[in-house]
Structure 1
Amino acid sequence: MSLVHVVAVITTKPGQRAAVLKLFNANVPAVLAEDGCIAYEATIDTENAGPMQSAFGEDTFVVVEKWASMDALGAHARSAHMKEYGAKTKDMLADRKIHILSPAA
């Protein structure tokens, strides 16, 4: 399998989004340096997007990722820096949904 997209919807406990994003952003350089990482970015609701938007809310952020392969994504999930990030943030999270997607042919 080739190119893999990931959309991770992360909901923090109330008022914890900024703290989790600070830890996330500190981890980004290590993730971007991984073999097979093409893109890795946290995103939040765009203000004033109007009626076309279905907002996630103030305690949620969405990580948009692109990986060269499932093997690269698997190595990412097993990496020491991701395990450390997970341990630091686990008590601040309310929910996490990971969507792994492939390009439509």
Structure 2
Amino acid sequence: MSVVVTAVVHPKPGRLQEALDTYARYIDAVHAEPGCELYALHATEDSIVVIEKWASRADLDAHATGAVLAKLGPELDALRERPADVTVLTPRPAGADPAKGAL
């Protein structure tokens, strides 16, 4: 079963674009990781919301302990005001149209 993750990243004031640029350097490498079905960035004026979808919990765990995050994490740490708010979700598809009822 797939796993969906939301991560809200809170860059230091004035560092939003720098944080987005940091993600941009690694996004293709994350997309290439086994089991990555979605890794998408969204932004407000002062935060970044990452929406992720992994084929399995094992794939998410491998991402969390893998080489890409080992490089990306410390770079983001220097730009963040505080740790990201991360939520791991179990999809609960709903509605008559499966394509609209799940990520």
In structure 2, the partner of 1:68 is 55
In structure 1, the partner of 2:101 is none
Unaligned 5+ segments in structure 1 are: 46-57
Which residue identity is paired with 2:10? Answer: T
1:21 partnered with 2:16: no
In structure 2, the partner of 1:59 is 46
**Cα RMSD (Å):** 1.1
1:78 partnered with 2:77: no
In structure 2, the partner of 1:42 is 41
In structure 2, the partner of 1:104 is 92
Work out which of the residue numbers 69, 77, 98 in structure 2 matches 1:90: 77
In structure 1, the partner of 2:98 is none
Q: For structure 1, which segment, 2-11 or 86-95, has the greater mean C-alpha deviation from structure 2 after superposition?
A: 86-95
Give the Cα–Cα distance (whole angstroms) in 2 for the partners of residues 66 and 17 of structure 1. Answer: 23
Give the Cα–Cα distance (whole angstroms) in 1 for the partners of residues 63 and 29 of structure 2. Answer: 10
Deviations 1:6-32, CA, capped at 9 Å, x for gaps: 010001000111001101011010000
Unaligned 5+ segments in structure 2 are: 94-103
TM-score (norm 1): 0.83
Percent identity (aligned):
35
Give the Cα–Cα distance (whole angstroms) in 1 for the partners of residues 79 and 22 of structure 2. Answer: 11
Give the Cα–Cα distance (whole angstroms) in 2 for the partners of residues 3 and 91 of structure 1. Answer: 31
Deviation at 1:88, TM superposition (A): 1.3
Report 1 or 2 for greater relative contact order, CA contacts < 8 Å, sequence distance ≥ 6.
Answer: 1
Give the Cα–Cα distance (whole angstroms) in 2 for the partners of residues 88 and 23 of structure 1. Answer: 7
